[in-house]
Amino acid sequence: MSDRYADLHIHTCFSDGSDTPEEVVRRAAQAGLSAVGITDHDTVDGVAPAMREAASAGIEVLAGVELSSDYHGKDIHILGYLFDLNDSPLVKKLREMRQVRVDRMKKMVARLAELGVRGVTFEEVAGLTRSDAVGRLHLAQILVAKKAVPSLEAAFERYLGEGAAAYFPKYLQTPFEAIRLIRESGGIAVLAHPMLTQRDELIPAFVKAGLDGLEAYYPNCSMAVANFYVGLAQKHGLLVTGGSDSHGKGKTSTYIGKAFLPGVHLEKMKALAAQRRTV
Ligand code: AMP
Ligand code: FE
Ligand code: FE
Ligand code: ZN
């Protein structure tokens, strides 16, 4: 391949993806990618196994994570990359974030029972993830399996989407705090899928708080939209990133390599992280 491409937004079975980290790496190599970012929700447990597999697959693995945060009731996702995996403030805080997920899932299961959806246990939902990063996609999968809803979409519409009957927020932090946490752990902080979040007016404030990049390349969005965010990134002196947000079988609308980042942007990202380490 003349150019290198990276998919920097991938979930594994350590959060709400279905593929193991090893499968992610092998699929990415088969898809012709040169690099992947493992970005599970609130855990980095998938990073080391992916890195071990990467050597034989001839692919590069970037440490990553996707943090949820709250801005006045709106769910905003911040991606972190290339942070210190050993005992950094970020890695320490993830344990607390997963505990919030566990407590919240227990509340969601109890609320569903009140709503008449009985027979779902916390243990079976938690059994769908290899770590304790349990989330709504797991619960939605159980609801489909038990035929309480006809589809994952219906599960979110009826019960689990923001503001729906069994929805509980999980946030410990604002986006500003999430950005700070990533930065103080030596990482690169990126606003995930801005075209879905639709809070562009906050970007200047995020930049002041230390935001490093915008996820401009994302599946199921047009080149015009991607180019808009590339332009916005340029305007603010930010990096451009991108990825598929693959969840394996959990999300049929995307897959590894469906959206990808030209290698030149990955090099810029790594250069910034390296430059920060030397100062
Ligand atoms: P949580 O982190 O537990 O709040 O769950 C968020 C995850 O649920 C997202 O990363 C998606 O994987 C999934 N999700 C959110 N909304 C939907 C939806 N409408 N349809 C399918 N999956 C969704
Ligand atoms: Fe997810
Ligand atoms: Fe997200
Ligand atoms: Zn994601």
pLDDT, tens digit (0-9, with 9 covering 90-100), for 70-129:
999 899 999 999 999 998 999 999 999 999 999 999 999 999 999 999 999 999 999 999
- Determine how many CB atoms are found less than 10 A away from the CB of residue 276: 14
From the CA of 146, how far away is ligand 3's center (Å)? 26
Shared domain for 135 and 240, answered yes or no, is no
Say if 114 falls within a structural domain. Answer: yes
Distances 26 to 33, 34, 58, 129, 149 between C-alpha atoms, Å: 10, 11, 9, 20, 33
Query: How large is the average pLDDT for residues 147-163?
Result: 96
Let me know whether 269 and 187 are in one domain.
yes
Residue range 235-252: average pLDDT?
A: 97
**Non-local CB neighbours of 102 within 8 Å, separated by 6+ positions:** 126, 132, 134
Shared-domain flag, residues 132 and 183: no
pLDDT of amino acid 1: 43
Q: Say which amino acid occupies 269.
A: M
What is the average per-residue pLDDT within 217-237? Answer: 98
Q: Ligand 1, residues 10, 137, 247: which to mutate, most atoms within 8 A of Cβ?
A: 137
Tell me, yes or no, whether 191 and 59 share the same domain. yes
Do 72 and 122 sit in the same domain of this protein?
no
Amino acid 103: pLDDT: 97
Condensed to tens digits (0 to 9), the pLDDT of residues 185-209 reads 999 999 999 999 999 999 999 999 9
Specify if 168 maps to a domain.
no
Nearest-angstrom CA–CA distance, 212 and 189: 5
Boundaries of domain holding 42: 5-86+173-278
Q: Would residue 165 count as lying in a domain?
A: no
Measured in Å, residue 2 CA sits from the centre of ligand 3 at 31
Percent pLDDT > 90 in the chain is 95
Pick the atom of ligand 1 nearest to 134's CA: 3
CB-based burial of residue 6 (10 Å sphere; 0-12 exposed, 13-18 middle, 19+ buried)? buried
**Whether residue 71 is found in the same domain as residue 189:** yes
**Whether residue 220 sits in one domain with residue 110:** no
Out of 107, 136, 158, mutate this one to test ligand 1's pocket (max ligand atoms within 8 Å of CB): namely: 136
Specify the CATH number for the domain of residue 213: 3.20.20.140
In a domain, 228, yes or no: yes
Q: What share of the chain is helix, strand, coil (3-state, %, to 5)?
A: 45, 15, 40
Please name which ligand lies nearest the alpha carbon of 42. 1
- Select the more confidently predicted residue: 87 or 59: 59
102 and 152 assigned to the same domain:
yes
Whether 261 maps to a domain, the answer reads yes
Beta strand segments in the chain, E: 5-10, 35-38, 60-71, 74-81, 188-191, 213-217, 239-242, 261-262
- Our measurement of the distance from residue 264's CA atom to the centroid of its chain's CA atoms, rounded to an integer in Å, reads 22
Residue tagged 């690169």 (tokens): 188
User: Cα separation of 56 and 52, whole Å?
Assistant: 8
Asked whether the predicted pLDDT for residue 171 surpasses 80, the reply is no
Same domain, 34 and 108: no
Q: Is 35 helix (H, G, I), strand (E, B) or coil?
A: strand
Centre of ligand 4 to C-alpha 259, Å, is: 13
Question: How many CB atoms lie under 10 A from the CB of residue 205?
Answer: 13
Mean pLDDT of the chain: 96
Which two structure tokens, joined as six digits, stand for 136? 């709504």
CB-defined site of ligand 1, < 6 Å: 16, 41, 68, 135-137, 152-153, 156, 161, 247
Indicate whether 2 pLDDT > 70: no
Give the number of the atom of ligand 1 that is nearest the alpha carbon of residue 16.
12
Q: Is the dihedral of CA 253, 254, 258, 262 positive or negative?
A: positive
pLDDT grade for 279, boundaries at 50, 70 and 90: confident
Strand duo 261-262 + 35-38: pairing: unpaired
Q: What was the pLDDT predicted at 183?
A: 98
Structural domain count, the chain: 2
Q: How far is the CA of 75 from the centre of ligand 1 (A)?
A: 11
Q: What is the pTM of this model?
A: 0.96
In a domain, 167, yes or no: no
Residue 204 sits in the same domain as residue 72: yes
